[in-house]
Structure 1
Amino acid sequence: MAEYLSPGVYVEEFDSGSVPMEGVSTSTVGFIGVAQKGPTEGLPLLITSFADFQRYYGSYLSQNAFGEYRYLAYAVDHFFLNGGSRCYVMRVAPGDAKPSANDQTVLHFTAKNPGVWGDQIRVAVAPASKAKTQILAIEGEASQEGEAASASRSYRVKSTAGFEVDDVVVFSDGEQKQYRKVVKAQDSILELDQPLEGGDAVIDANLLPQKVLRTCELEVNVLCGDEVETYENCSLNGASANHITKILSRSNLVLVEDHSSEAGQEEVVSPFALIAGDKKDAASYTIALSGGSDGSVSSLSPADFMGEDRGPGKRTGIQAYIDNDVVSIMAVPGVTDANVQLALVAHCENLKSRFAILDIPRDKTKVADVNTHRDIFDSQYAALYNPWLQVFDPLEKRSIFIPPSGSMAGIYARSDQSRGVQKAPANEVVRGCTGLDCQYNNGEQDILNPRGVNLIRAFSGQGIRVWGARTTSSNGLWKYINVRRLFIFVEESIKAGTNWVVFEPNDEMLWARVNRTIEAFLTRIWRDGALMGSSASEAFFVNIGRSTMTQDDIDNGRLICEIGIAPVKPAEFVIFRITQKTNEE
């Protein structure tokens, strides 16, 4: 309760009406597959264009090197081509893939992730300095003069800003350079490990000094193709905030280990000289990485795609999407191993917030073979598509066949954005597709469609279209893709939009607010054409209160709201009954 202690007028605000609720996204896709580069564990990366994909994961893969596992890049490309706008990607790599590295003894660079791509990385190192100052006086006992004073290691400088303990510094008088290490930096006093040579000659109190004391750091440029990363003032001082390992931890290309403390140098030298060795007088020194390997396709197994749950930030494969609550569609393009597909379906069923798009093996084109593969599944959270699509391959400059899951994911997104999730993603043109691996006729579809196999067919004058909208479920209530995805949309939207209810007082006032919030949301869904009925009362109901909760529920902190919706279903079979009209009628 608010406190009112002094007389006056108090103005307060309180919430009494319904809280506006927005629908969640239904068109964000999660892909898993083999790529040239990219992280193989942790969180999947958000991709908003194929150029993004190429930047983080590389380009198309060759048939000779990657065989049946090369379709991720093609799927992502055709996802965007068919209307998709954003997706997440998780890379899978063979177990024997190796990252590129260098044989540098002072700084050991390693490519951020495995693959031959790392052999293109070049690290250019150049001298740099983060701070400089001038010496104003040599600190020592006031009675000392001459040789005794010149032997002091403490110097009064104009500013110690930027100078840290253990930093390597260089004193230059325009002719020669002296390297020392900072022992102490306090106020305006710098103490070095050895006194500077030259006695009082190191002092320069001029407005524009010629003799300066500088810190010694490195400028590091990491280059890979057109990508360049620049890191300034990198130090080999392990205690410094700008130590090279700390600064390069932001790199998307390399990891670095600093072994300068193991160099065993007796005299102090600059970090650049320590790295460049005989080439210390050059303007820069380039380190090349090599030895990367993509691994062998034969070492890939279903377990690599199914992934491991090694804890937050270290999950791989399908398991990496446990930490992602944005994705609503999942696909593993071209990987038709039953173990992988069943793991993907189980992932979607466990989370109940996403839908799996599955490919059928390319060699299974006969109806009996397709049915054999379809019989593996019975899930309302998955859909099968066949056949494979003929597209142009920019890598090999010829037409190839790719699995349909990537294109279908784009069509799902396109249909959601143009019509809404209630529209079945069917009778839609497949963009970028010039042909099909095989042509099915009506008789063959008569067998496959009731079994939940969605065919892609070519129609004269209408292009190549998706001609099926069924899940793999044996439950008639959930046989249509749009019905299942509409319920996912409604459930996730209500879940996200009513988070404010948690820990509120569980009384009639709260029940009324929750009721109004959900009714307003469902009314908007009904007006958009997602629900059946000529009125809102026919399209849905919302029950909350004493009819849905007992006193025991309330005492145990439970608020129970029952919601019913009448989803629209696709006009899968359009039947016109025509008879002959006679004059007698």
Structure 2
Amino acid sequence: MVANYLHPGIYIEEIPGTRSIQGASTSVAAFVGVVENGPPDTPTLITSWNAFTRQFGSLIWYGFTSWAVYEFFQEGGTSCYVVRVKDAGTGKAATASVGSSKFKAASLGIWGNSLQVCISNNTVVTNSGGGAPPPTPVFNLQVVVDAGVIDGTGGGTPNLPTQLLTAYVRQNGITSTLINNKNYYVLEAFNGFTDAGLTFTQRINTQSMFIRVASSDGKRPPNTQTPTTLSGGAAANWDLGSGLNTLKTVQALSLLAMPDTVTITDSNGNTDAVKQGQAINQGLLLCQDLASLFYAADPPYNQNVQEIIAFKTGTLTGSQAINSSYGALYYPWAWIFNPLSNSNVPIPPSGPSLGRYAYTDGSIGVWKSPAGVNDGAMRTVVALMAQLTDADQDSLNPNGINTLRNLINYGNVIYGARTVSQDTQWTYVSVRRLFIFVEQSLKNSLQWVVFEPNDQALWSAVTRDVDAFLTTLWNQGALFGATPQEAFFVTCDASNNPPETRMLGQLYIDIGLAPVYPAEFVIIRITQKTAGPDSGS
């Protein structure tokens, strides 16, 4: 606005200063998958684990998104979006009734058909007349599984649900218990109830991983002579694609995880690695299209080194290779401690991995690899599914598979920093994420340039702003070079904006960056020093 100076006096004018370029968010994650409650296909901002439980429910077995979000906050994450996906099929949760109380598995699927519920007296009551002892005012509830299911006495190859339950029993050292002359493994025990009212329902529904109280009239359920089996569970067909598409409208996202790709199975519950790979590629494609997301992918359960390499390289029959600079693959699975059940639980690695991403971004910057004995230290991971050796990593690392390893004196750490890309320009996670950060920062902060006169004044202003932003990054250690001129260049002038491009309404800003690469291979070279004639003097 041009001021009109009509009378003598002092006039104040505000002159626009340099427009600073604000760094884009780098550590806000999106978790797309299976949770207990909440609106479907609705990205919801969550800033703490308590906020998650209020909106989406508690930790549930065979719903790995809840565990991933839990670990994300445990390992350093501060905010994320959660998208609850819908069942596109006819999935059902297994159910059972004991008296007037109805129980159901905590998530959909055939896995719940292996569960059984046992109601018993809180104290041992003898009954000299034989038969079942009379119920006492105080009772216990146990979630059990037939020992034959775990011990494999039924024959055949166990499916994924059985493998996970077996791993849980073995890892936690659960011994079999004799109930009515038959062996069972007690997965969970809840003691000291006087009725099946509100306290009973709340305690089971917030603390159990395996079951929920679907309904109850508050009356004490009768004792079970033998455990009551849950039945009717049917596999779900989780619509991860629709959940992914909802992220296109969410701003400030930078990380992605879909932990429930690991539960994609055939109708018999057997792992379908081909379809799991297809789902991962769907997530990678979204990241590439948006150019703002980076995906931490999970491996199928219980694969050995050769199998996970085949999974990644696409050498499985009918599978596709996993190849993109916008994602990383972590291996193997991890065990974390569940304080509600006082037990260790198996989870895919994306949750704790993204927690370390967020921690590293906050403490150093997006240009630092979220790996190693410091930034890659997973403090809440108690064990790993497989103990990998240097020889194993010799095969995994060149194929872009980042390992989780247990190192002496350091514990469980992320010990890989590579993307799944075959393009050597984008070998490292930190390099790809640095470029995403710079690109999104410039995109967000240079919106003011649109529709401005495309002339020397604009070119100078843009060059000045971008140069200041990149100089700050160089000072922080994000770019390589002894001087800013060695670390980057910015060109926005007549050389790259000739008349013909200006007539088309186009403005070109050419930027070159020299990223800092991680010191992935540290070679310590030692030689013998030959002592001279005066070495002893």
Normalised by the length of structure 1, the TM-score is: 0.62
Q: For the residues of structure 2 that align with 1:475 and 1:297, how far apart are their CA atoms?
A: 42
Counterpart of 2:423 in structure 1: which amino acid?
N
Contact 1:426–1:469 (8 Å) recurs in 2:
yes
User: Equivalent residues in 2 for 1:263-282 (5 A)?
Assistant: none
Q: 1:305 aligns with which of 240, 243, 246?
A: 240
Structure 1 Cα separation of the partners of residues 519 and 445 of structure 2: 31
1:368-407 alignment runs, 5 A limit: 368-375=306-313, 376-394=321-339, 396-407=341-352
Residue from 321, 326, 347 that aligns with 2:286: 347
1:121-166: CA deviations, max 9, x gaps?
xxxxxxxxxxxxxxxxxxxxxxxxxxxxxxxxxxxxxxxxxxxxxx
Q: Which residue pairs with 1:541 in the alignment?
A: 489
Q: Is the 8 A contact 2:480 2:515 kept in 1?
A: yes
What is the aligned length?
378
CA distance in 2, matches of 1:346, 1:297: 30
2:73 aligned residue: 80
**Displacement after TM superposition at 1:334 (Å):** 3.8
User: Does the CA-based 8 Å contact 2:91-2:235 persist in structure 1?
Assistant: no
What SS class does the counterpart of residue 248 from structure 2 fall into? helix
Q: Does 1:461 align with 2:409?
A: yes
Q: Does the CA-based 8 Å contact 1:16-1:513 persist in structure 2?
A: no
Corresponding residue for 2:251? 325
C-alpha deviations, 1:49-96, integer Å up to 9, x for none? 01000000000113xxxx3xx111111111000000000000013245
What corresponds to 2:21 in structure 1?
A: 21
Q: Which runs of 5+ in 1 are unaligned?
A: 99-113, 117-223, 227-294, 308-316
Q: Deviations over 1:443-478 (max 9, x none)?
A: 110011011000000011111111000000111110
Shift of 1:510: 1.2
Alignment CA distance shift 1:19-1:5 (3 Å): closer
Map of 1:483 onto structure 2: 431
Is the Cα–Cα contact under 8 Å of residues 387 and 456 in structure 1 kept in the other structure? yes
Q: Distance in 1 between matches of 2:397 and 2:79?
A: 30
Query: What value does the CA root-mean-square deviation take over the aligned residues?
Result: 2.5
1:71 aligned to 2:8?
no
Q: Could you tell me how far apart the structure 1 residues matched to 2:441 and 2:470 are?
A: 10
Cα 1:432/1:5, change in 2 over 3 Å: closer
Q: Please tell me whether residue 357 in structure 1 is matched to residue 356 in structure 2.
A: no
Asked whether the 8 Å contact 1:334–1:402 carries over to 2, the reply is no
1:505 lines up with 2:442 in the alignment: no
Q: Which of 499, 509, 515 is the aligned partner of 1:567? A: 515
Q: How does 1:121-270 map to 2 (within 5 A)?
A: none
For 1:419, the equivalent position in structure 2 comes to 364
2:261 aligned residue: 335
Read off the aligned partner of 2:236 and give its amino acid letter. Answer: S
Tell me if structure 1 keeps the 8 A contact 2:471–2:484: yes
Distance 2:338 2:455 in 1: 62
Partner residue of 1:11? 11
Q: How far does residue 550 in structure 1 lie from its aligned partner after superposition? A: 1.2
Distance 2:346 2:489 in 1: 48
User: Any idea what the Cα deviations from partners look like across 1:361-420, whole Å, max 9, x if unmatched?
Assistant: 1121x2210111111211000100001111123454421210110000100000111111
Shift of 1:97: 7.3
Query: SS of 2:30's equivalent?
Result: strand
1:524 corresponds to: 472
Aligned counterparts of 1:433 and 1:46: Cα–Cα separation in 2: 25
Secondary structure of the equivalent of 1:299? coil
The DSSP-based 3-state class of the residue aligned with 1:400 is: strand
Structure 2: unaligned runs, 5 residues or longer:
93-105, 109-200, 204-231, 263-275, 314-320
SS in structure 2 at match of 1:431: coil
Shift of 1:436: 0.6
**Structure (1 or 2) with the larger CA radius of gyration:** 1
- Secondary structure at 2:261's aligned position in 1? coil
**Structure 1: 4+ residue segments shifted above 6 A:** none
**Identical positions, percent:** 39
